[in-house]
Amino acid sequence: MIFYNVTKALLAGCIALIVSGCNQCQNPKDWCKIRNENNCKDTYCLYSTANIPPHPLTLDEIIRIGLCKNLSLMVKEQEYAIQREAVTRERFKMLPKLIVNWENYGRTENTASFSESLVPGVPPAPLSISSEQNIMRWDSGFVWNLVDFGVAFFRTKNECDKVLMAQLEYERLRQNLVLDITRQYWKAIVAKRAIEESTSIITKALDQQNTLQRQMDAKIISEIQGLRNENQLINIRGQLQAYAGEYHSAISELALLMGIPASIEFDLAEIETMGVDVNLCDVNQLEKWALVNRPELFSADIEEKIRVDEARTALIQMLPGVELFGGPYHDSNRFLLYNNWIAAGIRATWNLLDIPLHWEEKKIACKRKELARRNRMALAVGVIAQVHLSYLLYHDNLESYIISKELESVNNRLLLAAKSEQKQGKLHEADILKYEAEALFAELDAATKYAELQNSLEQLNSAIGMPRYFHSNVEYASTQFNHIDFLNEDPQEESMDTSWIYRMN
């Protein structure tokens, strides 16, 4: 009867679990409701935190906003917080075990037993019991496994190292963000200038096309000549119109990098003076700065240290497991002389068949340590190559910019000479339009070369791990802007100190 009742209760519990599990399956309407709720929350959060200054923004202001609001940086910050909690979790594993047991049970029959006498002629003892039918016991045991403590200690150190790696990844993401903002900013500046300067030329090109069409209809010029001239005008319009797409693309990318919705409008500050006065250090000095500032190299150092700790962990696991234990005990059995007592001791267990396994783990950890060392060396060589390439690229772009400015000056002088000859009746309006287009394209080419020069300079800053350290003197029109001081630190005074990485462990 008792077995039947227990079986019936277990069956009813299983049916209840199955029914409750089926009820957890949500229909598509529930998911649509959740999506709409999350959409409202996310939209409100995006637009409520998008506080953009009302004035036109400079490059440094855009960088400041991006470093504060970029969503990828926020994700990396949350990953860093999670990793810190993982360290706390591992530290708790270093504590000894404190196990509390309690039981209160009863049985239907007593524990009466008999014995058989081994002495001939001596009758056995009568039936007897030494425990009650209802007993309450409890004990509190303190257990400390020394091997488990050693393993937890080194795994806690590994988690601390991973926290530092997450912090370094966050720092490198910030540096890459500065570089990406710089590239999109100068792309937008060039496109914006092209749009502003090309308005009059596009209008003149359209008027000239209409004039050519009338001349072809009136048979003043041949159709071949008219179509050839019209083809040139359309090409000019097409080249200038392409800058509008580049501007919209760059502005959208800047909004994404700043962590604001693309629908929020902002303008870029007008640049009045674009300087090229940058005093670069010797490339050998730049290499030294890169090797002591790049976060990737610190991460490589930490990776090697993690592999060393993994090898030590494997060695510890090869040792016998020694446990220290002790604690109070209580038993309500009235047949016991003492119902309360304290016990303590030491015990050891050693799984000899696990020794080859942990030995192989130790060998693997040693090989991974060597792999981490070689990866660090390869990374260092790559960093040096990046510094050299950025250094050479900057000087190449500087020469290209100087040549483009010379070409711009020649085209401007040519335009002035053409306008002078137009006043004398030697050139027509169509000829002047072509000279104006060539002068504008020369100006835009110089602006593009200057943008490439600034991008290569910031690429050099990123290669040495110090964003915005080297920068040109750029003056903005009609506004005084504050520079971001924390992006311009002396590398010899504020370079990353490697000792803090090991002190935090």
Give tens-digit pLDDT for 289-328. 999 999 999 999 999 999 999 999 999 999 999 999 999 9
Average pLDDT of the chain to the nearest whole number: 84
Q: Are 404 and 445 in contact (CB under 8 A)?
A: yes
Give the Cα-Cα-Cα angle 64, 69, 71 (nearest 5 degrees).
Answer: 135
Residue 329 to residue 319: CA distance in whole angstroms: 30
Least confident of 303-307, 446-450, 469-473: 469-473
3-state secondary structure (DSSP) of residue 2: helix
Residue 251: how many other CB atoms lie within 10 Å: 21
Q: Are 436 and 193 in contact (CB under 8 A)?
A: no
Q: pLDDT tens digits for 221-272?
A: 777 877 787 787 888 888 888 888 999 999 999 999 999 988 888 999 988 8
Longest dimension (CA), the chain: 153
Res 485: pLDDT? 43
Q: Are 192 and 247 in contact (CB under 8 A)?
A: yes
Res 182: pLDDT? 95
Residue that wins the pLDDT comparison between 46 and 72: 72
Residue 31 to residue 39: CA distance in whole angstroms: 12
3-state secondary structure (DSSP) of residue 469: coil
Q: Are 131 and 333 in contact (CB under 8 A)?
A: yes
- Report the C-alpha dihedral over residues 376, 378, 380, 382, rounded to 10 degrees: -140
Least confident of 9-18, 91-100, 220-229: 9-18
Average pLDDT for 283-290: 94
Say whether domain 59-103+133-503 belongs to CATH 3.40.309.10. Answer: no
Residue that wins the pLDDT comparison between 245 and 487: 245
Residue ranges of the domains in the chain? 59-103+133-503
Q: pLDDT tens digits for 410-429?
A: 999 998 888 888 887 777 77
Query: Which range has highest mean pLDDT (27-31, 122-126, 224-228, 336-340)?
Result: 336-340
Instruction: Decide if pLDDT at 115 tops 60.
Output: yes
Res 14: pLDDT? 65
Per the listing, tokens 């016990």 go with 343
Query: Residue 361: which pLDDT band, with cuts at 50, 70 and 90?
Result: very high
